[in-house]
């Protein structure tokens, strides 16, 4: 099939992956119908064979010299190495040791070399960080000074983009090695053991002699057909033991019909054969600068995302305006459930450790292993895996819902960019046991990955903004905030912020102020946006103080001038039906009280004590109906509905005080 996409003007190629499941296949040599169990067995033999061959190559060349030679990009003759890993390894002469008596086709050897080359190439980035840390090792590894941090950043190949959390984690790794061996390591290869070859089959390294992929002729939009040679026994001895197998699979509905399918990757997980099918399509090219309307979001805990819409005026001295309608994505219930699953998993893990100690103690004393303990250990291990899978699915659903929430609001606002703060350097330490755990369990990285993927298909840029002092200063006058408890919630905390400037006096939640600062900083620093080549993402690395001081936010009011008759408003569904008192004039007030009960339909009120506005618990079993609440996937996740209103047509009325609107003064 074609692997290139025809691009038009202003378009780029986007590559995504869809996961499919192989349920049945056909052996084209014998005509045998293969069930899912038979497919998993044959694919498992190929996966084990490829993993063993790739692991042997990685172990043989797991040293600093070979890593540097592969990363240099040139061979012994000075010619450049190809981008394909298997070709680069063959150019260097790094062969694969095939077991004696086992026949492995050359295309399968390619797969093993490709996986080994990818593992070795990815290790060079970690090796460079380890070498820079060893070259600039500080006097106190637990606390570096400003000069030591600058020396470390200068020693790194791209020091400005490496997160501090990565550097601190590598520092702890070197410290642990020094504690165990009482000496400093020579490099990464001493700090880490050789990694494995990967439990997968990368078919992108082979040609049509081993695997072919095409859309199903009967239904090309929803089904695909993969033909791949699989072994018929765990130790194939000749070419006759490799038979082509035709696997028909169903494409997920989100794969467009015009997308170009690429060679998939096979994985065997939990008794299933999974196919990661990459597909490529043409999408609008996102621009790094020239944005007039943007949406910005700030991260939180109880309220996972808080954001809004901002606009940059086209004046000689541009101003940043906001419509004053904040957006929120509250997922406290989802995060609480994830935390409960974590506690259950930790409790099961503690019981598993105890059982293993009991089994080991019986073996040390020469006693026979207890079948009851072994059976209980197997049950607990399967239960821990089940809890981990539930937690993984919940986090994945939360990440997809949050990303869809941000992109939908960007589409509704007509924004061409989404600004997010960079929290890679945030570490959960020194904030208490429960808060540290909550910060560590957030899925910010997965949310950013999903929002980049969804926004790229629409041509919306996602830019990462430095988070320094975004919640510290007032977005209107840039005066340092005073943080205190919220006026409507006397619980402990510092969720509310008040500007001490008498001319401003802005008072709001700190998250509401943070997203305004993030959006204003992104709009005023558009020319500072750069493309990170390693991650292919837009980032703003540095902040210019002069531009940051000029990024003041003004609230724009909507034009409420009456230009026509008032539209008829619908009558509320639950208006009071209590009749007026006898003798009351027409239109008089009716007495206050509860809503009258219907003579035939019973209400949801229960016998327990509850207020007049409380909704009782229904008798039906619990069903997740979060879609009715605006969440889309969970009952206890609530989001701000998408507003389809246009941007205010008139600019705000200017007051005598420069930089302050009349709405600001009213606030």
Instruction: Look up tokens 């609480």; give the residue.
Output: 336
Q: Is residue 40 part of a domain?
A: yes
Alpha helices (H) along 192-268: none
Backbone dihedral angles phi then psi of residue 359, each to the nearest 5 degrees: -65, -40
For residues 87 and 110, what is the distance between their CA atoms, to the nearest angstrom? 8
Q: From residue 8, give the alpha-carbon distance in Å to each of 390, 452, 548.
A: 43, 22, 37
Answer yes or no: are the C-beta atoms of 243 and 234 closer than 8 Å: no
Domain match, 171 and 303 both: no
Alpha helices (H) along 414-509: 433-440, 444-456
- Pull the structure tokens for residue 624: 């997740």
Domain match, 227 and 312 both: no
Instruction: Look up tokens 């009325």; give the residue.
Output: 653
Question: Which pLDDT value is given to residue 623?
Answer: 46
Task: Give DSSP secondary structure letters for 554-621.
Answer: EEPPP-----SPPPPPPPPTT---PPPPTTPPTTPPPPP-PPPPPSSS--S--SS---TTPPPPPSSP
Answer yes or no: are the C-beta atoms of 81 and 91 closer than 8 Å: yes
Question: Which pLDDT value is given to residue 639?
Answer: 83
Domain match, 507 and 447 both: yes
Question: Which pLDDT value is given to residue 436?
Answer: 61
Contacts of 27 (CB under 8 A, 6+ apart): 34, 243, 244, 245
Domain match, 143 and 215 both: yes
Give per-residue pLDDT as tens, 91-148: 999 999 999 999 999 999 999 999 999 999 999 999 999 999 999 999 888 888 889 9
Distance from CA of residue 518 to its chain's centroid? 20
Count of other CB atoms within 10 angstroms of residue 627 = 11
Q: How many CA atoms lie within 13 A of 80 on its CB side?
A: 3
> Residue 434 belongs to what domain range?
293-555
Question: Which pLDDT value is given to residue 661?
Answer: 41
SS3 content of the chain, % helix, strand, coil (to 5): 35, 20, 45
Query: What is the total count of domains within the chain?
Result: 2
Domain match, 165 and 219 both: yes
**Nearest residue to 469 (alpha-carbon basis) of 430, 417, 531, 516:** 516
**Nearest residue to 141 (alpha-carbon basis) of 169, 160, 181, 180:** 169
**Nearest residue to 10 (alpha-carbon basis) of 286, 256, 259:** 286
Sign of CA dihedral 584, 589, 592, 598: positive
Q: How many residues does the chain have?
A: 667
**Nearest residue to 476 (alpha-carbon basis) of 326, 327, 320:** 320
Beta-bridged to residue 250, according to DSSP, are: 223
Instruction: Look up tokens 């701000």; give the residue.
Output: 640
Q: Is residue 394 part of a domain?
A: yes
Q: From residue 181, give the alpha-carbon distance in Å to each of 9, 128, 176.
A: 59, 22, 9
Question: Which pLDDT value is given to residue 344?
Answer: 94
Q: How many CA atoms lie within 13 A of 404 on its CB side?
A: 12
Domain match, 245 and 309 both: no
Q: Is residue 652 part of a domain?
A: no
Q: Is residue 286 part of a domain?
A: no
- Model pTM? 0.79
Axis crossing angle, helix 164-181 with helix 106-135, rounded to the nearest 10: 90
Residue that is last in its domain, among 506, 538, 555: 555
- Pull the structure tokens for residue 512: 């509401």
For residues 288 and 295, what is the distance between their CA atoms, to the nearest angstrom? 15
Domain match, 67 and 127 both: yes
For residues 518 and 318, what is the distance between their CA atoms, to the nearest angstrom? 17
Terminal CA-to-CA distance of the chain, rounded, Å? Answer: 62
Answer yes or no: are the C-beta atoms of 397 and 634 closer than 8 Å: yes
Q: Is residue 115 part of a domain?
A: yes
Domain match, 452 and 501 both: yes
Q: From residue 51, give the alpha-carbon distance in Å to each of 20, 42, 54, 210, 431.
A: 22, 14, 5, 18, 43
For residues 432 and 177, what is the distance between their CA atoms, to the nearest angstrom? 28
Domain match, 411 and 346 both: yes
Q: Is residue 592 part of a domain?
A: no
For residues 203 and 96, what is the distance between their CA atoms, to the nearest angstrom? 18
Question: Which pLDDT value is given to residue 273?
Answer: 94
For residues 348 and 376, what is the distance between their CA atoms, to the nearest angstrom? 11
Domain match, 541 and 505 both: yes
For residues 603 and 614, what is the distance between their CA atoms, to the nearest angstrom? 11
Q: Is residue 409 part of a domain?
A: yes
Domain match, 352 and 406 both: yes
Residue that is last in its domain, among 219, 238, 271: 271
Question: Which pLDDT value is given to residue 596?
Answer: 53
Q: How many CA atoms lie within 13 A of 659 on its CB side?
A: 12
Domain match, 306 and 346 both: yes
Contacts of 512 (CB under 8 A, 6+ apart): 306, 308, 326
Residue that is last in its domain, among 527, 555, 583: 555
Q: What's the order of all strands across the beta sheet hosting 482-484?
A: 482-484, 496-498, 507-509
Strand 223-231, strand 293-299: pairing:
unpaired
The SS3 call for residue 3 is coil
Question: Which pLDDT value is given to residue 439?
Answer: 61
Task: Give DSSP secondary structure letters for 188-210.
Answer: HHHHSPPP---SSEEGGG--TTT
Residues of the chain with pLDDT under 70: 1-3, 160, 425-441, 490-493, 533-535, 550, 557-562, 569-632, 644-667
**Residue 214 host element (H or E):** strand 211-215
Q: Is residue 401 part of a domain?
A: yes
Question: Which pLDDT value is given to residue 649?
Answer: 53
């Amino acid at each position: 099939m074609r692997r290139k996409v025809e691009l038009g003007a202003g378009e780029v190629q986007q590559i995504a992956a869809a996961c499919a499941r192989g349920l049945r296949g056909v052996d084209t040599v014998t005509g045998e119908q293969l069930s899912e169990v038979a497919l998993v067995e044959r694919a498992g033999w190929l996966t084990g064979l490829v993993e063993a061959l790739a692991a042997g190559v990685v172990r043989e060349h797991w040293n600093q010299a070979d890593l540097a030679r592969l990363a240099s990009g040139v061979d012994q003759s000075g010619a450049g190495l190809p981008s394909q890993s298997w070709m680069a390894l063959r150019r260097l002469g790094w062969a694969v040791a095939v077991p004696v008596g086992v026949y492995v086709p050359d295309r399968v050897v390619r797969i093993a070399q490709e996986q080994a080359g990818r593992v070795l190439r990815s290790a060079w980035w970690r090796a460079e960080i380890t070498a820079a840390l060893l070259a600039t090792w500080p006097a106190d590894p637990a606390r570096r000074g400003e000069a030591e941090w600058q020396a470390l950043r200068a020693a790194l190949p791209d020091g400005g983009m490496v997160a501090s959390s990565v550097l601190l984690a590598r520092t702890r790794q070197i410290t642990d090695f020094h504690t165990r061996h009482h000496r400093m390591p020579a490099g990464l290869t001493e700090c880490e053991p050789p990694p494995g070859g990967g439990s997968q089959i990368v078919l992108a390294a082979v040609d049509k002699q081993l695997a072919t992929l095409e859309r199903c002729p009967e239904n090309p939009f929803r089904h695909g057909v993969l033909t791949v040679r699989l072994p018929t026994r765990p130790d194939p001895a000749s070419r006759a033991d490799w038979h082509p197998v035709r696997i028909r699979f169903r494409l997920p509905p989100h794969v467009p019909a015009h997308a170009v399918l690429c060679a998939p990757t096979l994985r065997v997980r939990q008794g299933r054969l999974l196919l990661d099918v990459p597909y490529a399509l043409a999408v609008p090219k996102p621009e790094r600068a020239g944005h007039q309307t943007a949406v910005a979001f700030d991260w939180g805990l109880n309220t996972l995302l808080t954001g809004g819409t901002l606009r940059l005026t086209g004046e000689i001295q541009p101003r940043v305006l906001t419509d004053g309608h904040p957006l929120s994505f509250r997922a406290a219930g989802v995060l609480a459930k994830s935390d409960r699953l974590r506690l259950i998993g930790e409790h099961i893990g503690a019981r598993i450790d105890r059982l293993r100690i009991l089994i080991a103690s019986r073996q040390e004393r020469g006693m026979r292993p207890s079948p009851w303990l072994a059976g209980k250990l197997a049950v607990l291990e399967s239960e821990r895996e089940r809890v981990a899978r539930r937690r993984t699915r919940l986090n994945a659903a939360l990440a997809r819902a949050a990303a869809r929430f941000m992109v939908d609001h960007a589409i509704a606002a007509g924004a061409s960019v989404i600004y997010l703060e960079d929290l890679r350097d945030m570490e959960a330490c020194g904030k208490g046991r429960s808060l540290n755990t909550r910060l560590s369990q957030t899925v910010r990285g997965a949310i950013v990955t999903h929002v980049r993927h969804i926004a790229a298909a629409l041509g919306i840029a996602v830019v990462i903004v430095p988070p320094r002092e975004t919640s510290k200063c007032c977005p209107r006058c840039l005066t340092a905030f005073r943080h205190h408890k919220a006026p409507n919630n006397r619980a402990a905390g510092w969720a509310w912020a008040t500007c001490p400037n008498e001319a401003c006096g802005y008072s709001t939640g700190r998250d509401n102020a943070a997203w305004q600062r993030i959006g204003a900083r992104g709009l005023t620093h558009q020319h500072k946006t750069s493309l990170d080549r390693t991650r292919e993402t837009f980032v703003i690395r540095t902040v210019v103080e002069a531009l940051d001081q000029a990024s003041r936010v003004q609230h724009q009011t909507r034009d409420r001038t009456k230009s026509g008759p008032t539209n008829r408003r619908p009558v509320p569904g639950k208006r009071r039906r209590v009749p007026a008192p006898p003798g009351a004039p027409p239109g008089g007030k009716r007495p206050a009280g509860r809503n009258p009960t219907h003579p035939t339909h019973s209400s949801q009120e229960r016998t327990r004590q509850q207020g007049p506005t409380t909704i009782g618990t229904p008798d039906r079993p619990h069903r997740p109906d979060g879609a009715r609440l605006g969440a889309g996937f969970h009952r206890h996740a609530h989001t701000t509905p998408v507003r389809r209103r246009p941007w205010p047509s008139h600019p705000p009325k200017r007051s005598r005080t420069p930089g302050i609107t009349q709405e600001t003064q009213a606030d």
